[in-house]
């Protein structure tokens, strides 16, 4: 009995541990669209881009920044603007971005900073797009409050084009495989991706800030995702809705299976204990009967009266 109880409690512990281990994964699947590493990168690049500003930066002039050595390969630049002049005059061009008049910013700030990113060979690390290959690096354009140039961890302002779209001129891109169609990919700040048609001259149009590139469907079928290495910056924004849905369904049904197993275990243990107790009662009853028989032998008749009720015990307990 003792051994059984020990085994049982360790099994329960294991089931609970497995459940606790899986639960955060299930939760993160629901609540964050795997864009965390990309968002952390945005915060780092905002900080380093602001460091490029000299003491009194001129408005409308791009200042190229330097990234920390562990991000070598990424280019950044920052430009400070008055939001009024951004709206009335636009910026033409800021690196690959041609920013027309009519750009609006929310909430209102007097000065803002546009941060430009070219993720270079880090594009697929932070913006993986299974089933597609990149024909150009991922370029980012993000807007921040430009009042305090030593600020860190700034939230992005809302930025949208109210007159005409922003043009992103990628210039030379990798050659498009024969029979494939190149498309513009736009990642918003939540990691959602939207594919739109490519404009002539390898340009993409955007009405909001975010990250942009040109992609084409990869010729071979998408390989199954390898398990993520524990330390490496996790590849981000796998935004295929279907696969997310199926993974979620898989995890939930896994949870249900674990739960059912747990219930079955509890049931087994309960039945085991019940049978054990019954056997003890039976043994006690047998002993009692033997005792009574002896007493009957000694002519103490009344004790023999209720001994025959014992065989019903099993039926009573089984109900």
Pick one of 46, 118, 128, 145: the residue that binds ligand NAG (CB under 6 A).
Answer: 145
Number of residues that this document lists for the chain: 319
DSSP letter for 136, please. Answer: S
Total number of residues binding ligand NAG (CB under 6 A)? 12
Reading the block at residue 138, the tokens are 């991922």
**Which one, 109 or 133, has the nearer CB to ligand NAG?**
109
Question: Of the ranges 142-150, 216-224, 237-245, 284-292, which one interacts with ligand NAG (CB under 6 A)?
Answer: 142-150
Q: Is 66 an interacting residue with respect to ligand NAG (CB under 6 A)?
A: no
196 belongs to the binding site for ligand NAG (CB under 6 A): yes
Complex with ligand NAG: residue 117 or 145, whichever CB lies closer:
145
CB of 56 to ligand NAG, least distance (A): 17
CB of residue 43 vs ligand NAG: minimum separation in angstroms? 16
Q: What is the DSSP letter of 234?
A: P
Cβ 265 to ligand NAG, closest distance in Å? Answer: 45
Nearest-CB residue to ligand NAG?
73
Give the helix ranges, DSSP H, for 102-198. 123-126
In this chain, which stretch among 26-34, 143-151, 169-177, 219-227 interacts with ligand NAG, using CB under 6 A? 143-151
DSSP bridge partners of 133: 216
**Contacting residue, 27, 64, 92, 148, with ligand NAG by CB under 6 A:** 148
Residues 6+ apart with CB under 8 A from 198: 182, 183, 184, 204, 214
Joined tokens for residue 180: 């494939």
222 in contact with ligand NAG (CB under 6 A): no
Give min distance, CB of 109 to ligand NAG, in A.
5
The single-letter DSSP state of residue 170 is: -
Q: Which stretch binds ligand NAG (CB under 6 A): 38-46, 75-83, 144-152, 277-285?
A: 144-152
Query: Which of 39, 243, 212, 233 minimizes the C-alpha distance to 136?
Result: 212
> What are the phi and psi torsion angles at 144 (to 5°)?
-135, 160
Q: Does 229 bind ligand NAG (CB under 6 A)?
A: no
Question: Per-residue string for binding with ligand NAG, 101-140, x by CB under 6 A?
Answer: ------x-x-----------xx--x---------------
Give the up-direction half-sphere exposure of residue 65: CA atoms within 13 A in the CB hemisphere: 25
The two tokens of residue 119 are: 């993720």
* Distance, CA of 272 to CA of 270 (rounded, Å): 5
Closest CA to 113 of 55, 67, 196, 47: 47
CA 102 vs. chain centroid, Å, equals 35
Site string for ligand NAG, 152-191 (x = CB under 6 A): ----------------------------------------
Among 29, 77, 194, 243, binds ligand NAG (CB under 6 A): 194
- Closest CB 194 distance from ligand NAG, rounded Å: 4
User: Where on the phi/psi map is residue 157: left (φ > 0), alpha (ψ -120 to 50), or beta?
Assistant: beta
CB 74 within 8 A of CB 67: yes
Q: Cβ closer to ligand NAG: 66 or 253?
A: 66
How near is the Cβ of 149 to ligand NAG at its closest, in Å? 10
Q: Residue ranges of the alpha helices (H) in the chain? A: 2-31, 36-50, 83-89, 123-126, 241-297, 313-318
**Structure token digits, residue 74:** 């990424």
Q: Which of 5, 61, 64, 73 binds ligand NAG (CB under 6 A)?
A: 73
Which residues of this protein are in contact with ligand NAG, per CB under 6 A?
A: 72-73, 107, 109, 121-122, 125, 145, 147-148, 194, 196
């Amino acid at each position: 009995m003792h051994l059984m109880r020990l085994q049982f409690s360790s099994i329960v512990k294991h089931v609970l541990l497995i459940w606790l281990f899986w639960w955060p994964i299930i939760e993160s699947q629901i609540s964050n669209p795997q864009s965390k590493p990309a968002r952390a990168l945005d915060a780092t690049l905002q900080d380093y881009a602001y460091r490029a500003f000299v003491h009194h930066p001129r408005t409308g002039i791009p200042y190229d920044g330097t990234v920390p050595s562990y991000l070598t390969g990424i280019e950044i630049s920052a430009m400070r603007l008055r939001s009024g002049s951004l709206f009335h005059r636009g910026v033409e061009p800021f690196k690959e971005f041609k920013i027309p008049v009519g750009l609006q910013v929310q909430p209102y700030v007097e000065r803002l900073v546009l941060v430009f990113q070219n993720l270079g060979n880090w594009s697929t690390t932070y913006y993986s797009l299974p089933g597609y290959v990149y024909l150009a690096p991922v370029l980012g354009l993000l807007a921040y409050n430009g009042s305090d140039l030593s600020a860190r961890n700034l939230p992005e302002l809302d930025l949208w084009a109210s007159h005409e779209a922003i043009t992103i001129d990628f210039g030379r891109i990798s050659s498009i495989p024969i029979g494939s169609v190149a498309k513009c990919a736009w990642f918003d700040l939540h990691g959602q991706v939207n594919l739109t048609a490519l404009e002539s001259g390898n340009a993409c149009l955007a009405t909001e800030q975010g990250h942009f590139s040109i992609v084409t469907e990869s010729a071979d079928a998408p390989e199954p995702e390898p398990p993520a290495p524990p330390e490496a910056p996790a590849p981000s924004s796998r935004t295929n809705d279907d696969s997310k849905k199926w993974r979620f369904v898989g995890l939930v049904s896994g949870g249900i299976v674990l739960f059912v197993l747990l219930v079955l275990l509890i049931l087994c243990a309960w039945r085991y204990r019940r049978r054990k107790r019954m056997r003890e009662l039976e043994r006690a009853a047998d002993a009692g009967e033997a005792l009574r028989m002896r007493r009957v032998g000694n002519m103490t008749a009344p004790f023999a009266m209720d001994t025959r009720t014992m065989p019903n015990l099993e039926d009573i307990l089984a109900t």
